[in-house]
Structure 1
Amino acid sequence: MGSRVFNVLFISVFSVMLGLGIVVPLLPYYAESLGATGLWIGAIFSGFSLSRAVFMPLIGKLSDSRGRRFFILTGLLIFTILSFIYIYANSVYSLTAVRIVHGIASAMVIPVALAYIADLSPKGREGMYMGTFMASMFFGMGFGPLVGGVIRDMYGMEAVFISMAVLSFISFLICLLFLPESRGKYRQASLKGALKNKVMRAILFFRAMNAFANGVFMVFLPVLGYLISLPSTQTGMLISTSIFTTAILQRRFGRFADNHNKAVLISAGSAIIAFCFLFIPFLKSFESLLLASLIIGIGGALSMPSAMALVTIAGREIGQGTAMGAFNTAMSIGMITAPMIAGGIMDAMGIYHVFLVSGTICFISIPAFLLMMKMK
């Protein structure tokens, strides 16, 4: 666990996710300042996820055979360059285009790094290893909204984008200097092959629905906060609280997942998140929303290490790059559909119905997931 590779990737992924976390919760404000409607806000976020979904299976498979370091370094360098280009995106069209390219860069970094760590995970301890590493992502995304809100309030959006560039470049330098090459164990598999694995099918369904909920929370909670007159710093605190809670509990729940029924833990975490979504429209104060964010974070912490452990186990059969690429593609599908569907709901019925409908969808997905797991 204390290997150089683990530490290098942990620090690098934390840094790049901190940069993303600084920007993402503030993009709805930025998009609205460019004249974006709810549907356009959804399109801006979905463009990122769509390009990720298209390229992650291919890049994941290639990293199994051609090595992981090249893709990680290339993605981080593109991250750095794009961070400056955001500053000059002065229309909803150009902002959407930048997000699409950013999604391609993301496809080169996160799933490949996860595959690298999965290569290191010993049998029977997948939950603890992957849960510990996932904490780097959640801590980065947790600190990001809080820091981003402060930077925006004090210095404006341009400083927010520059901060993302600096953090991405730090990640690039760390990997360039200290990350060795790894090709893992290549398997003749693809996204289609991953779907033939019955456990993977169930986990991919869960991940898509989980990402749908995360997408709604990340994109439209700031809109709700604006409606009830919360400053952007407090909105950032709400999102940070949820993600911090998930990060802090990753290792503990990862160890727990190694010794308990992973499908049950995934379902329980999903139910907690769905329940909170149904209550959010009735919460009108920062304090009550803060409590809901905390509970949503617990739900995420309960489910994610179990899901990652199952993907890692399946990856030994189909290739870790392929498995992580498929897992993150499922996440992108959820992130694509969430902003578009929720944006349409907001335009048609208002922001409160966004959370009511999303919570209902999440509840319905739980028995479907359990049925798919039993079919294996």
Structure 2
Amino acid sequence: MIRRVFPILAVSIFACMLGAGIVIPLLPLYAESLGASGFWLGAIFAGFAISRTIATPIFGHLSDRTGRKPFIVIGLFFYGVIALGFIWADSVPLLVMIRLLHGVAGGLILPIAQAYIGDISPEGEEGKWMGYANAAFFSGYGFGPLMGGVLTEQLGMNSAFLAMGGLSLLAFGIAALFLPEISRRKLAARPHLSWREMGRSGTMTGLFSFRLALTLGRAAFFTFLPILATTSLGLSPSLVGVLLAVYLLLSSLLGVPFGRLADRVSRRAMVVIGSLASFSYLTLIPLAGNFWQLVMLCILGSLGSAASVAAASALTVEEGRKYGMGSAIAMFSMALSIGMAVGPLLGGAIADLADINSVFYFGAMVMLAGTVSFGWLTRSG
């Protein structure tokens, strides 16, 4: 089944993530043009994550009982419609509101799509198929910044927002017409344990701490790298898009070989080694003096992210077979959403109180703490 279904799900989520990635390098610049301070810049990025954090466990648990397809299809439709609201946002509070609504729609899409892949992945091949899934899903996110920078320079910022909405609606059409539903009998056969029982798993708690730390570091990277690159190094929006695309594309595409590797070696060791690489690139970003040095650091960060996320995703699928796939993926995704919510706010406050360089050092220290926490919590696994 997975070989028949995977291309449909991959193409639809790729299109949606491509649209979402288009605005990554634009939101900080757009927000600054509206007069956003460092704190409000953080709030704009955090708004999406706050609402997604609330929505993800609810939708994940419900999808364990009622099926995956309805949530994915509805989420893709509203993701596209809400995206068009960026064009009319003429104030910072309105921009925050749109991001909040977008986060609810986001909670319907990626975590449920990942649970769908987890449901149909053969045992012993979790790393392989989650690697393929992450590559397909997030490579769209990687191409997006490059497209966004070019569209903005050639046609203006509104064209990027229109592209985001159009691609999400295209993804909706593909999923609605071609994506099959998993049989209710298969879903009923899955375990449905409580969140409290799942929270007692050292592996799940360790995975949560790893994902939270990685996302806090990424929040510093995505929110403040565009500003650091344009103000300190004088880079253009298109070059900023190249930097983000290098990181995201390599993180996505390297998920395939690292996913296969995760089926053959210690997944726990891969998470630790990849996390240490992420700590290193965040520490070095403030020291970069030109575009090419930033490119090399983006490559280092992508290697660390790809290795650690591929292994952690496979471990999450293993846990999902014990506690319910939608619930396990939701818990893993919640860490991502909380990091996306808290990271920009903390980063914005640190940038206002100190400077942008301090934001990257903060992210690096959090990454190191998350690595130690993961290693300790999973030591008996």
Equivalent-residue separation in structure 2 for 1:193 and 1:156 (angstroms): 51
Q: Out of 212, 216, 220, which is 2:220 matched to?
A: 216
Q: Partner residue of 1:349?
A: 354
Q: Partner residue of 1:296?
A: 301
Equivalent-residue separation in structure 1 for 2:283 and 2:214 (angstroms): 15
Q: Partner residue of 2:93?
A: 93
Q: Out of 240, 245, 251, which is 2:245 matched to?
A: 240
Contact 1:13 1:171 in 2 (8 A): yes
Deviation larger for 144-153 or 133-142: 133-142
What is the one-letter code of the residue matched to 1:289? Answer: L
Q: Partner residue of 2:102?
A: 102
Displacement of 1:80 in angstroms is 1.2
Q: Partner residue of 2:79?
A: 79
Q: Partner residue of 1:260?
A: 265
Provide TM-score, normalisation by structure 1.
0.97
Identical aligned pairs, as a percentage? 38
| Structure 1 residues without counterparts, runs of 5 or longer | none
Contact 1:111 1:325 in 2 (8 A): yes
SS of the residue corresponding to residue 374 of structure 1 reads coil
Contact 1:145 1:236 in 2 (8 A): yes
What is the one-letter code of the residue matched to 2:263? Answer: D
Contact 1:57 1:322 in 2 (8 A): yes
Deviation larger for 291-300 or 357-366: 357-366
Contact 2:212 2:370 in 1 (8 A): no
Contact 2:20 2:164 in 1 (8 A): yes
Q: Does 1:312 align with 2:324?
A: no
| Structure 2 residues without counterparts, runs of 5 or longer | none
Q: Does 1:40 align with 2:40?
A: yes
Equivalent-residue separation in structure 2 for 1:192 and 1:17 (angstroms): 32
Displacement of 1:352 in angstroms is 1.1
Equivalent-residue separation in structure 2 for 1:15 and 1:190 (angstroms): 34
Contact 1:131 1:254 in 2 (8 A): yes
Q: How does 1:135-214 map to 2 (within 5 A)?
A: 135-182=135-182, 183=184, 184=187, 185-214=189-218
Q: Out of 287, 291, 296, which is 1:286 matched to?
A: 291
Displacement of 1:368 in angstroms is 1.8
Contact 1:57 1:191 in 2 (8 A): no
Displacement of 1:361 in angstroms is 2.0
Equivalent-residue separation in structure 1 for 2:190 and 2:106 (angstroms): 22
Contact 1:28 1:223 in 2 (8 A): yes
Equivalent-residue separation in structure 2 for 1:168 and 1:111 (angstroms): 16
Equivalent-residue separation in structure 1 for 2:324 and 2:156 (angstroms): 44
Displacement of 1:216 in angstroms is 1.3
What is the one-letter code of the residue matched to 1:188? Answer: H
What is the one-letter code of the residue matched to 2:230? Answer: Y
Contact 1:117 1:130 in 2 (8 A): yes
Displacement of 1:186 in angstroms is 4.1
Q: Does 1:113 align with 2:113?
A: yes
Equivalent-residue separation in structure 1 for 2:316 and 2:46 (angstroms): 24
Equivalent-residue separation in structure 1 for 2:2 and 2:290 (angstroms): 43
Equivalent-residue separation in structure 1 for 2:44 and 2:198 (angstroms): 29
Displacement of 1:190 in angstroms is 4.1
Q: List per-residue Cα deviations over 1:212-241 (Å, max 9, x = no partner).
A: 111111111101112121100000100110
SS of the residue corresponding to residue 9 of structure 1 reads helix
SS of the residue corresponding to residue 48 of structure 2 reads helix
1:352 and 1:155, CA in 2 relative to 1: closer, same or farther beyond 3 A?
same
Displacement of 1:324 in angstroms is 0.9
Q: Partner residue of 2:129?
A: 129
SS of the residue corresponding to residue 24 of structure 1 reads coil
What is the one-letter code of the residue matched to 1:116? Answer: Y
Q: List per-residue Cα deviations over 1:90-135 (Å, max 9, x = no partner).
A: 1111110010010000000101000100011111110011011110
Provide TM-score, normalisation by structure 2.
0.96
Q: List per-residue Cα deviations over 1:172-222 (Å, max 9, x = no partner).
A: 000111011125344333433321222111101111111111111111110
Q: How does 1:15-26 map to 2 (within 5 A)?
A: 15-26=15-26
What is the one-letter code of the residue matched to 1:34? Answer: L
Deviation larger for 243-252 or 11-20: 243-252
Q: List per-residue Cα deviations over 1:15-39 (Å, max 9, x = no partner).
A: 1110000012210111111110011
SS of the residue corresponding to residue 116 of structure 2 reads helix
Contact 2:213 2:369 in 1 (8 A): no
Displacement of 1:2 in angstroms is 6.0
Displacement of 1:171 in angstroms is 0.4
Q: Partner residue of 1:337?
A: 342
1:296 and 1:154, CA in 2 relative to 1: closer, same or farther beyond 3 A?
same
Equivalent-residue separation in structure 2 for 1:313 and 1:98 (angstroms): 35
SS of the residue corresponding to residue 3 of structure 1 reads helix
Displacement of 1:138 in angstroms is 2.1
Contact 2:9 2:175 in 1 (8 A): yes
Q: Partner residue of 2:364?
A: 359
Equivalent-residue separation in structure 2 for 1:165 and 1:302 (angstroms): 31
SS of the residue corresponding to residue 124 of structure 2 reads coil
1:167 and 1:190, CA in 2 relative to 1: closer, same or farther beyond 3 A?
farther
Contact 2:142 2:245 in 1 (8 A): yes
Equivalent-residue separation in structure 1 for 2:380 and 2:36 (angstroms): 44
Q: RMSD across aligned C-alpha pairs, in angstroms? A: 1.2
Q: List per-residue Cα deviations over 1:263-293 (Å, max 9, x = no partner).
A: 1110111111111111111112001101100
